[in-house]
Amino acid sequence: MRILKNLCKDKLAMTSLITIVVMIVIGTLAPLFAPHNPEEVNMKLRYATSSWEYLLGNDHLGRCILSRLIYGIRPSVLWVLVALMISVLIGAVIGFIAGYFRGKTDTLIMRICDIMLSFPGYVMTLAVVGILGAGLENILIAFVVMKWAWFARVIRTSVMQYSEMDYVKFAKASGISNLRIIYKHIVPVTFSDIAVISSGSICSMILQISGLSFLGLGIQAPHAEWGMMLNEARGVMFSKPELMLAPGLAIVIVVSAFNFLSDALQVSLDPKLMTSKGKLQEKEVKPTTYEYIRS
């Protein structure tokens, strides 16, 4: 409730949150919101302009662009969120083990993470997709393989910081089990760091899955996906630019919303940033004593 209350003070953050929630609801209930079957081919309506029946027009196969845009939310956003949650879960478990117990366990885990992080993200993704083949499932596997090590390293640093606090040391000296200490004392304080890095990573993952689909390595026809819709429309990008406008704007809006929400979460979850931001706004709004007397 405190986080939501802090977010309500930021209009841009609330707009971004509402945009994301609406997008998720529409994608989850796509059959209810989509006016037509996104895979239905009608060559009579090939490159038809917008009308009351087809608000965004039709593509090169006469398919409804609006319906494909709505169904494209599932692979472009919803399934990416699933891959993100799996990556965060794996990274959090490994990061907590390495950061709390340290010693040889920490050294072994960090060396594995170093090996994973030594490869550029896109190269690692392309390697996994090249081995397993194109398709949504293989891209999601590539995301999990690529991201867990980064989450583990970041979360491990946060856990090491909080595990040195006096109340954690007191809990250890009191004979409380390690699992209970982690659950009761460390997980709540590291949640803010996990939330911020997760909301920031979703943007790069959405762009990556759209980019891979644009290159033909992601979602395969006839399924709808925003990157693939851009690829299908690039042949007529100069004569019919509106075909690229809808999926392009959808990607920009979603990525921007997650970016703005990530910044707002970082401020609302960190009391220091919130205090400094409030002082800065107060300094900008309130006049100085000299200006007050002069007026």
Of 221, 255, 267, the C-alpha closest to 19 is 255
pLDDT above 50: residue 159: yes
pLDDT above 60: residue 289: no
Of 93, 275, 63, 246, the C-alpha closest to 183 is 93
* Model confidence pTM above 0.75: yes
Q: What is the pLDDT of residues 75-131, one digit of tens each?
A: 889 999 999 999 999 999 998 888 888 888 888 988 988 888 888 777 788 888 888
CA distance linking residue 169 with residue 189, whole number of Å: 15
Q: What is the pLDDT of residues 168-208, one digit of tens each?
A: 888 888 888 878 888 888 888 888 778 888 887 888 889 88
Half-sphere exposure of 130 (CA within 13 A, CB side): 6
Q: What is the pLDDT of residues 242-264, one digit of tens each?
A: 888 889 999 999 999 998 888 88
CA distance linking residue 160 with residue 33, whole number of Å: 47
